[in-house]
Each structure stands twice: as structure tokens, then as C-alpha cells.
Structure 1
């Protein structure tokens, strides 16, 4: 750029910094102001393109390995579209570092000098106003054309970029298409803008489909002709009909339908699809390819009419999910897409209306009482749900609490006597939590109640008939207690005609869904709290020995401490804040470590500095086996 034009460019940026009007696009002005006020960059100081060292580039590429693999086909297809027009394609990660590059090999030296090359960093902090950096800041597709750039070094370039969002609504990467030189008019890049946004939409679609092959997916288009071949947006649903994932356009569609902000994906993930569309989960088969596209019209809650294409889960994993979808809503609401929970709830749905005694097994805090209440609600029995924690009631009181007593039955008894909890549950469900802690003397009395369907209060001469359903729970191995003589064998077979085992939180695949539901409990006028990425990573990496109870408490504490509705790692309990400093391993690092350890998960966990449960969870997330 000649010196006079160079000086004019600097003056214009300085004038914008003073609040003077300009003809530049709004996103250019916003970026210039960030460069001046936030990053303290000087437009008069030329800044050459920066290429990260090879070691750092390898780290960035490893962390983006799965995205690169999914994006490869879209990048190749786009590059073929612009072949012969001197365009360069850059795929940049969340830090603005180019992790994939397609360009003319004969121009390598020029491209590298200009920063249009593998390993170049295009964050605003590093490069000033540029397409990648401005896209990362705004989250929107845009063009930074020639003198839109902050730094004069980059003013010959014309760059167009579009964001790539992950299925959970977070900005994950940027796709940029650039020219070393171009026509003066910015409008010359309108076609490039269209091509890059179309490509990112298809990359997001492929990513969503890859992540949710075992779930329902709804794809949308404004025209039925393009519905099955090139949809505009998509969402995925868990087994209870709640939002599990989405493309960026899908997030905007959901937000518009419910009057929410797409920039706050936590308000969308985990919400029932009925909040956004006039459709139930059981209605989805009407939107499959078995029906003509013109017949698949769906209405959003804001009145927006779209055509929808529903894609069923893979058949090999559908059995449990279908059973849960047909289950009562109280049971469906306990699962956010976890395979083990879906299978267990499918069994629970069949048992709910029977009078068989059910034993719930699982670690402390996994939600056994929630499941017991859901079983009762699903049974449609007219009586009450009565919960008794056998470990919390003193041994001296548990007999009177359970069986009740007549007036004057013993010293200190209430004048009018008291109906016992067993009798209170007549016609409903009696839930005996931690039944393994019940004293042996009371176990024999409980056995008589179950065997004869009658209860005798303390001080009474005649029994009273009771008809109830029994649900028991214990974190202990009752069979082992029987072998040790601490639990009656005959009672053991009375309480567990059927056993349901609730998986621990560290093994569940729907952690993000549970987090979203718990965050929603703390919603106020400004909405539910939002997790900063580092805080979410800490929650994902923690082993959760206290299970859902611990998770609920952690989120309650963080919601109380956070500022401006954003939960940072420092707002989490101390144990979790420490976890944030030891982030979960990325796919490439995990795969390489497992290979070096010959598949030994314990050794891999030691080398990565995390616990075994974190390694197992990441292996499930990335679809790895110990032989990978």
C-alpha cells in the first residue's frame, strides 16, 4: 500500500477510535475498537503474519483431529468449487490457529509470508482485525476485505470466514476462504460468503449425525424439494424427547421459536422438543421418508412453518429407547440419552404397574429415590408414596415409625397413638431406602407384613390389612449381607422379585443433559446460569463419587457464587476447581497414550494425570477401545 493510503488507513482507524462515523460494516468497526481498546494494538505498527512453532502446531492439530476428519470432505468439495480462482482455504481452531490448509503448492512462499498457511494464528489479539478473529469474536459469518483489516500488512488480502459450532452449541472452529489479491469491491466476495456458510452448515450436519447416530434427528428446510438432500438445520433428541444436540442454524431456529438467545446454548440443550415445536416424540415417525416431503410440515411455537425430515436411531440400539418412549412420562424424564439408563428404564416401565416387590441397587446419590417416585407415579395407584430411610431413623424409634402404636402403648407415646408409615402407604407405595441397614429384629416383622399383607401396631391385639407395593433400595450388596448373616435370606427374596440397577454418574453418557437440567433449577428473571467452557470441562472430568447428589450440590454452590450468570471454575467447589486445572485428555492424546500403554487404562490414567473413570468416559466419548 502506498504511504499516502497507509497514512489514510491509520487516520481512519484513529477517527473510529474517537467515535467518529465511518462507512465500514458494523462488525469491522467493532473489531477495530476491540483492537484499540482491548488488545492495545497500534495501527501504525506493522505486524507480520505469525506462524506457531511446529510443536505447538502438532498440539493444536491433535486437539482438532476429530473435527478435521469430519470437515475433510467439505473442505475438499469447496476447494474444487473455487479451483483456478487462487483461493486458499484455512480451518482454524477456537484459538485462531490454522489446523488445516488447502492452497496452491506453487505459491507456498507467498502464502506463508501472508499468513495464509498451516500454523498461522489469526486471533484478533495476534493479527488485529481479520476474518478468522472477527468471526471468533462475533460468532457470525463475515468478510474482512482489504482495508477492513486493522494491520496494513494484511490490507492486500480479502478474507471470508464462517463459524463451525459443535453439537452442544459452542463455537468450535472457523472456516476461512481467502485471496492474496482481489477486485476492489467488497461485494465481489458475496459468492465466497455463500459458499463458506454452506460448507460450514454441512460440516455441522455431518458432525451432528456422527455424534447422534443412536438418537432421533430432525432436519429442517423451508422448501420440501431440498428437505432430504440439503437441509438447512438439524437437532437431535434424546430418549425422552429433549434437545440433545443441534447445528448452528438449528440453535437459532430453536431460540427464535421459544424467544431465547442462541448465544446461551444451556437454555436450549435438555429442553423438551414440545417447547419449540407443536410435536410429540411419538409423532416423529410421521416425518420420516416413508411420507412425501410436502406432507411433513411442522409448526414452530413462534408460528414459523418448516418441512421436517425425521431420521430414526440405528436399529441395533433402538430397542431400549423405543420401550422408554412408550413408558410413562415420569420414567422417561430420568434419562437424557444414556444407553444403560434407557435399558433399565425400559424394564422399569414394564414393572411399574405390577405389584411385584422391586429392589433398587446403586451407589449413594445416584437417584434411587427419584426412580422409586417415578415407579409410583407411573403405577397410577391411588395411595401415597411413603419414603422411609432405614439408615436415618434411630434404631429405638424405627419400629414405632414403621408399625405405629396405640394410645398408651409405651411410656412417652402420643395420647392419640400414631399410624405407622407402613399403614400410611396402604393403597400406594412404601419405599424403604437403605433397607440393608434395617435391624435384624425388625426384618422378621417386615417379612410378616409382606407375607400376610397385614400390620400390627405396637400395643394392638389384632392386625390391620394393608395392600401396598414395596420398593426397596440399598447401596450395599444385599446378597453379601445375607452371606454374612446380617440380612435375612427369606426377606431378601421377598424384597427383590425384580432388581433395577441405577448406573453411577461417572458411567453415564448424558452428563451434559443432567447438568442442563440442574442449571435450569436455578433460573431467575435473567435466565439460568451458564457454564464457562473451563467450568464445563471440570464437571465433565470429575469422577463424581457422590453421583447426582454431588453434582446437584456443586451446581447449587456455583449458581450462588457466580457473577453475571456465568459460572467460572472458581465458583465450583474446591475439588472441582482443582479438576479444571487438569483438563480431560483430547482424542489424539488419549489414543496415543493408550497405544503406548498397550491398552492399560490404569497406566494411561497415571500418565495423563487423571483418574480411570475420566479415561473410561473419554474412551466412550471418542468411541475408543483399549486396543485403539
Structure 2
């Protein structure tokens, strides 16, 4: 039966679209926007996509979606009001709104329930992945790569599956200048030309700007915030940019507009604006921290004009820090005393404290993850102190006890169990922790043979000392910790999978010191604690504070404590200056140091990439053999290759 005219027309349009992409790839001049052309080139050169092989929309599995939403939980809460406001503005025009994370996965969604089936088919729904590497040129994915707002209209899309869509997206940046999400507004069909989406582009860009401002205000309540506008009329109602400052006038964070403003004043590319963090405000504007009160709302907006170092001028609204921010955080009053001192307002630590408080009273095993020196044992002790009863806290460093002794140390032994044993025997550390907490630090270094015995303790709540046959019942809280990725160790056969799933019933990941938003609070708290122990009164000079804030801290809290102790020892006049700091702490972090500070999940991703690259090389590009070696299906191998942008080399 002959194809219908509509089908024939669609096939001709697909053929024309593919031919146009091929002409662009051959270097022909195109009438498309430059952002579209660059994306098409990336799709072929970097992502290895084929326009002649259309790909259906991809929805991530429910478990992955839950992980993506949990990681974006704070932003979703802040952005929701902005999304609902934008959705009301375009009501009745058949738009759907997507909030995607930095990986292109939709973590929040607003759309007409009457159109759910076609929206699901098009991939315009919760859990859809719109990364450029998977989907080709599209609003979300191309916006993530370019870091700029854009409209990808109909045949701008690389993949013919999506050429009926019109997608307009704007990036959302975090307070450190890194892209953290994308706000997208899309239509299933639009008979109008691309210029018809100009208003949509304006609306989505303005909404992204307001979400960034709300995020900055929420995170920086205890700090000065400056909001900027080119016009005094919009200064107090819809500012274009904002930055946050600490008490000494150093820049703590900014919106994307703030990054563009400061980078412009300093003659920098805004994409390198992360280097602005930690710089004093006086480097950019003709003012100091002492001038801030003069720019609060007490004066008329047109009088709050500020001159920049490049002779430009803006209007500014200075917002004072909240004087008692801790009293306004709802979780604080219900947190046990031992947990309250772990955070000075850091969002990750606040969430961690709340989870730890709920888990402390249970017998659920807890796995603490995080880089070396982030305070895992300190957190374990705080959790133990929340628990009822008078049981002991027993800490065991699995990496420091010799392998031949660790079994007897943990499980104990009976009289005459082995040569050199005490005649009366010895209670093991597990038994010593009965009624309390057993903290197994560096659990990833525990020998495999011993892991089997520990698994039995967890499963049976019994311990059998060496040389004895009668088990003893124990009731203990197990908290384990590691700076290594235990999941990766399981894949490598260096850690028992069954023990891993016993230990990681609940996982708490401590952020690296460089990632924490409450660095100044931590610094002041540690200086006070260490100085008080030595009966000293110490103040930190601005140059020392700036040097410490710029340092990379590969050793995290442990390194910071050491630096403070050295400075206290060298100081003679009660003021720590930059000269009192060890040389390493006065030196900006090297590229190698920064590479060492990749967050835990990013390290895991890099490890997975290396493992796949090795398997591809050793199997000479044979995907079936790679799948067998990695114990995954062939489709998963192909999907990972596309996501990571790897090249399959065959002999």
C-alpha cells in the first residue's frame, strides 16, 4: 500500500534535514544560528551521533531519577515558586516547563495533564534525559554545553525525532559560578517561525535570574548581599545581579549576572569567574566593607550609585546579614547537642546533621564517606553521643592494625588460643563495644577473610572469640568509614558485596573543606578552640584570612587544624598574619591539587570511565566481549560509550 502524502512529506523533510547537516559538516555556509551550527559539529565530532539514526526519547530508571532529585533537592525547593509563576505567565499556550540538572536529567516538571501521553512520547516529562551527548542538539543539552540561553526551534534539533519541538532554555548557575541546572520551556508543535519564541526566551532568562537570586539569598543569609541594577527604578524589585560578601569584604558568592558584572570590571571572561571568589570588593568597586551601611534601603535608590574600577556605574542595594540566622533554621532546636556544632550554615552539613540525628537512635549501620580529613570520626562520635545508654565508643582503624593481629583485636580470644596469647584470654573490641558503638575506620582496608566474620556479627549479632566455640551476644551500633569508593572496590573484587550492602544501609557523605559554605565559621571556631586551650587571645588579620580561604585544602579539616596550630606557635602579638602561616597555606592550589579534590561522586565517574576505556582497548572494540568482562549487557556498554563520548577503536 502506498504511503500517505503526510508520511511522504515527513520523509522528505527528514531527508532534507539530514542533507543540511551533512552540508554544514562539509563546511558550507549555513543560515542557522552559530550556536546551532557549533552544536551540530559537536554531535558528530565529539558525541559520534548520526543524524540518519534517530534516537527515541530516554527516561532514566526510577532509582536514578530519585538520586538526581535528591542531589537537586534544595534547588528544586527554591526554584518551584519561580517555575509556577512562569507557568502561570504562559498558561493556555501549551507550554511545558522542565527543570533539568547539570547532567540534563529533568528533576522537576510542569505541564498540562491532558497532554501527558504525547509529552511522554516526546520525552517532555520528569526523568527525561536531554544531554547533548545522548539527544543531540536540543534546548537543555546545548544550553549546558554553551552556558548561554538559547532557542532550539524545530529543525535546529540534530535528531529528526525531535524536529517538531520548539525548546527555549536558560542556564542556572550556583553561587560559585558553576552551571547547576537548566530551565526549559518547550512546545510539542509550533507553526510559527523561530522569532516567535523571543518572548519565551526573555521569560525563561528572567526566571532563571530570579531563581539564582533566591538561591544566593537563601544560602547567604548570614552575610552581606549586594544587589545591582543599571536603573534605580528596578533596583529593589528586580535586580540584574547580586554578590555576597563576608565580614571582611571578600566575595563569597554571586549570581550569573554578578559574575558577568565583576568579570567585566576586571577584564575577565565570565567563564573564568570562579577566580573572583575570595577577592576583596575593593578590587572591583570604589568602596570598602565599612561603606556598606550607606547603601542600605535607608537611602533613595537613585542616591545609591556605585562607581566601578573601570569607571562604569551601577545602582546598588546592600542587605545586611541576619544577626541570628541559626535561630531561624528549623532543624536546629531538635538537633542533639553533639551534632549542633558540626555546621555553621553549610547546606550539605545541615542536611547531613538532620539525617544523622534521625539515624542515631536506631541500630541501622551507617557508612560515612568523604575525603581524608573531613571529620568522619568526629561525626561518628557525635552520633554515638546522641544514643541512649552508657555504652562505649570503640574506634578501630582497619588500616593501622597489622593484618595478623586485627582478627584477635576485633574478636578477642580464649585462654591459650595461640602461642603468645594471654593465659586468661582477652575481650575483643567488638565485645568491648557491646551496648555502645563500634566505629570501623578505613573499612575498605579490612582483609577479605575477616570481612566474612564481620558479616556474621552484623547478621547474627553474635561474636565468637578465637579458640572458643560458644558465641556471645552483642548489641552494637556499627558505624564504618572510608575515603575510598567501596562500590568500586566491590567491582574490583577487593570488598565483599554482601558486607557492602550490610554496611551502607545509610550513607552520610561529608563534603570536602573546599566545598563548604561555612569556611569562615569553621576557621573562627577552630582558632577559638585551639587558642583557648593554650590560654591565648588570637585575632586573624585580613591577609591571613584571604590566604586561608584561597588555599585548596587537600588535607581538609586535619590540614586546617595543623596550619592553625603552627600559626598559634609562631604568633607573638595576638594577631595571626600571613607571615605566621606555613608556606604551603600561603600558596594558591596547583592544578594537581585541584584534581585531587574532585568530589567523591566525580571520582567514581572518572574511575568508571577509566575502567570502560581499559576494557575497550583490551577487547579491541568488541562490545560483546566488553559486556562479558564488565558483567553488564551490551546495550548498557553502548549507552555508556555514548554518554562518555568514547571512541571505539577496532584493529
TM-score, with structure 2 as normaliser:
0.54
Q: Aligned to 1:568, which of 587, 590, 595?
A: 595
Q: Please say if 1:31 is aligned against 2:39.
A: yes
Change (3 A) 1:193 1:501: same
Aligned 1:192-203 pairs, distance under 5 A: 192-203=200-211
Could you tell me whether the CA contact under 8 Å between 1:60 and 1:97 is conserved in 2? yes
Q: Aligned to 2:537, which of 478, 496, 499?
A: 499
Q: Distance in 1 between matches of 2:272 and 2:280?
A: 16
2:550 corresponds to:
517
Change (3 A) 1:560 1:181: closer
Structure index of larger Rg: 1
1:388 corresponds to:
none
> Can you list the C-alpha shifts for 1:515-545, whole angstroms capped at 9, x where unaligned?
76237xxxxxxxxxxxxxxxx9x77798756
Q: Please say if 1:8 is aligned against 2:16.
A: yes
1:265 corresponds to:
273
Q: Distance in 1 between matches of 2:36 and 2:319?
A: 40
Aligned residues: 385
Q: Distance in 2 between matches of 1:545 and 1:149?
A: 53
Q: Distance in 2 between matches of 1:582 and 1:512?
A: 33
Q: Distance in 2 between matches of 1:171 and 1:515?
A: 25
1:65 corresponds to:
73
Q: SS at 1:46's partner residue?
A: coil
1:285 corresponds to:
293
Q: Distance in 2 between matches of 1:231 and 1:113?
A: 39
Query: CA offset at residue 223 of structure 1?
Result: 1.0
Q: Distance in 2 between matches of 1:204 and 1:476?
A: 36
Q: Distance in 2 between matches of 1:271 and 1:61?
A: 33
Query: CA offset at residue 317 of structure 1?
Result: 6.3
Q: SS at 2:253's partner residue?
A: strand
Could you tell me whether the CA contact under 8 Å between 1:163 and 1:200 is conserved in 2? yes
Q: Aligned to 1:22, which of 27, 30, 33?
A: 30
Q: Please say if 1:78 is aligned against 2:86.
A: yes
Could you tell me whether the CA contact under 8 Å between 1:544 and 1:551 is conserved in 2? no
1:98 corresponds to:
106
1:413 corresponds to:
none
Could you tell me whether the CA contact under 8 Å between 1:518 and 1:552 is conserved in 2? no
> Can you list the C-alpha shifts for 1:178-228, whole angstroms capped at 9, x where unaligned?
000113310000000000000010000000000111111110111111111
Q: Aligned to 1:251, which of 240, 247, 259?
A: 259
Q: Distance in 1 between matches of 2:322 and 2:588?
A: 39
Q: Aligned to 1:559, which of 580, 590, 603?
A: 590
Q: Distance in 2 between matches of 1:478 and 1:202?
A: 43
Could you tell me whether the CA contact under 8 Å between 1:170 and 1:265 is conserved in 2? no
Structure 1 unaligned regions, length at least 5 = 319-336, 341-364, 366-473, 481-491, 503-510, 520-535, 584-628
Q: Please say if 1:112 is aligned against 2:145.
A: no
Query: CA offset at residue 245 of structure 1?
Result: 0.7
Aligned 1:373-452 pairs, distance under 5 A: none
Q: Distance in 1 between matches of 2:600 and 2:33?
A: 43
Could you tell me whether the CA contact under 8 Å between 2:151 and 2:169 is conserved in 1? yes
Query: CA offset at residue 15 of structure 1?
Result: 1.3
Q: Distance in 1 between matches of 2:281 and 2:44?
A: 43
Q: Distance in 1 between matches of 2:230 and 2:528?
A: 52
Query: CA offset at residue 266 of structure 1?
Result: 2.7
Q: SS at 2:537's partner residue?
A: strand
Q: Distance in 1 between matches of 2:532 and 2:213?
A: 49
Q: Distance in 2 between matches of 1:479 and 1:306?
A: 45
Query: CA offset at residue 559 of structure 1?
Result: 1.5
Q: Please say if 1:45 is aligned against 2:72.
A: no
Q: Distance in 2 between matches of 1:10 and 1:304?
A: 48
Could you tell me whether the CA contact under 8 Å between 1:267 and 1:516 is conserved in 2? no
Q: Distance in 2 between matches of 1:62 and 1:75?
A: 18
Q: SS at 1:162's partner residue?
A: strand
> Can you list the C-alpha shifts for 1:411-470, whole angstroms capped at 9, x where unaligned?
xxxxxxxxxxxxxxxxxxxxxxxxxxxxxxxxxxxxxxxxxxxxxxxxxxxxxxxxxxxx
Change (3 A) 1:557 1:517: closer
Q: SS at 2:271's partner residue?
A: coil
Q: Distance in 2 between matches of 1:58 and 1:99?
A: 9
1:332 corresponds to:
none
Q: SS at 2:293's partner residue?
A: helix
1:176 corresponds to:
184
Q: Distance in 1 between matches of 2:48 and 2:585?
A: 38
Change (3 A) 1:59 1:203: same
> Can you list the C-alpha shifts for 1:51-83, whole angstroms capped at 9, x where unaligned?
001110011001100000000100000000001
Q: Distance in 2 between matches of 1:248 and 1:163?
A: 9
Q: Distance in 2 between matches of 1:17 and 1:118?
A: 33
* Greater CA drift, 261-270 or 293-302: 261-270
CA-based RMSD of the aligned residues comes to 3.5
* Greater CA drift, 6-15 or 540-549: 540-549
Could you tell me whether the CA contact under 8 Å between 2:547 and 2:586 is conserved in 1? no
Q: Distance in 2 between matches of 1:81 and 1:539?
A: 49
Query: CA offset at residue 264 of structure 1?
Result: 1.6
Could you tell me whether the CA contact under 8 Å between 1:135 and 1:163 is conserved in 2? yes
Q: SS at 1:264's partner residue?
A: helix
